[in-house]
Every structure is written in C-alpha cells, then in structure tokens.
Amino acid sequence: MITPADGEFRLNDATATARLGAALARALGPGEAVCLWGPLGAGKSTLARALIRALTSPEEDVPSPTFTLVQFYEPPGLPLAHFDLYRLSDPDEAYEIGLEEALEDGAAVIEWPERLAGRLPPDRLDIELSQDETDEGARRARLVPHGAWEGRGFEF
C-alpha cells in the first residue's frame, strides 16, 4: 500500500518501527535526508538501524555514532551516512564532519537534527518520534516532508 510521506503513524512495537525504516529506505534518494527528532528512548536509533540494514544487509553491524558522530556505509547504489548530532554544540560541526559531502553523493540519516539550528537539509523527511501515551511499548511517528519529499509516497 502506498502511504503519503506525511501524517502520523502508530508503531505498535520495534518490529513496526523497523518496517517503517525499511519502507523509507526504499523511498530515499540521493541528496536527501531523514531527520529523526524525539527524546532519548523514542526509537530514533531503532528506526535508523532498520533503514541502514534495508540498504546494506540484515546482518550489517550498525553501531550508534554517538561518540564517533558519523558512520558511513557504501551499499550498492546509494552511499549513506548516519549522523548522531547529540554531542554537537555548534551547527558548523556537522558540516565539518561531512554532512554536505554526504548529501552530494548519497543520503543521510540524522539523529538530533535540532543541533543544526536552522541549517537543515532542504530535501528531507522529518520524523518526530514519541512514546504512545496509551501503550508503553508503542511509539508515534509524525512525518513532515520538505523539498523533494513533499507529495511523495512510500510502500508501507
């Protein structure tokens, strides 16, 4: 089923979050970013891992780049960079570690994009993750498209 990349979704468990990540991987194109917003424990890393594994392989080791800040992957067809900007204090630091270059040749998944302070990539899908208030194990994902993502659908 083709779903618009806009609106709110309920993710019942980690499997549903992984399905969303895999679906977004199929829709992601060069020069585009998926920006993951939300508090600690909201599911950002789970979603990022699923997206990366959908582009690489299910067995891909996908460490959190919290301390390295960025991890690069070279799947066939679309180079991908996974940024975790939690520890940044200045938006320029993201560009110093290769955000602009990553988007020139491939795509990016960005955790903690609020650290970019208004310097977000123009072609991006913002995903705001939060815990579902009615079910402790479930999450809510609110998708907000920008630029090339506007009007796009994906199979989910």
Is residue 114, in this structure, part of any structural domain at all?
Answer: yes
> What letters, b where the CB count within 10 A reaches 16 and e where it falls short, cover 116-135?
beeebbebbbbbebebeeee
Is residue 156, in this structure, part of any structural domain at all?
Answer: no
Q: Which domain, by its residues, includes 69?
A: 9-151
Is residue 143, in this structure, part of any structural domain at all?
Answer: yes
More confident call, 70 vs 132: 70
Residue-wise pLDDT for 74-127, tens only, equals 988 899 999 999 998 898 899 899 999 999 989 999 999 999 988 999 999 999
The per-residue pLDDT for 1 is 57
Is residue 3, in this structure, part of any structural domain at all?
Answer: no
SS3 string, 78-113, reads CCEEEEECCCCCCHHHHHHCCHHHHHHHCEEEEECH
For residue 76, give the CATH number of its domain: 3.40.50.300
Is residue 2, in this structure, part of any structural domain at all?
Answer: no
The per-residue pLDDT for 98 is 92
Number of domains in the chain: 1
Residue-wise pLDDT for 24-81, tens only, equals 999 999 999 999 999 988 889 999 999 999 999 887 888 777 777 899 999 888 999 9
The per-residue pLDDT for 61 is 82
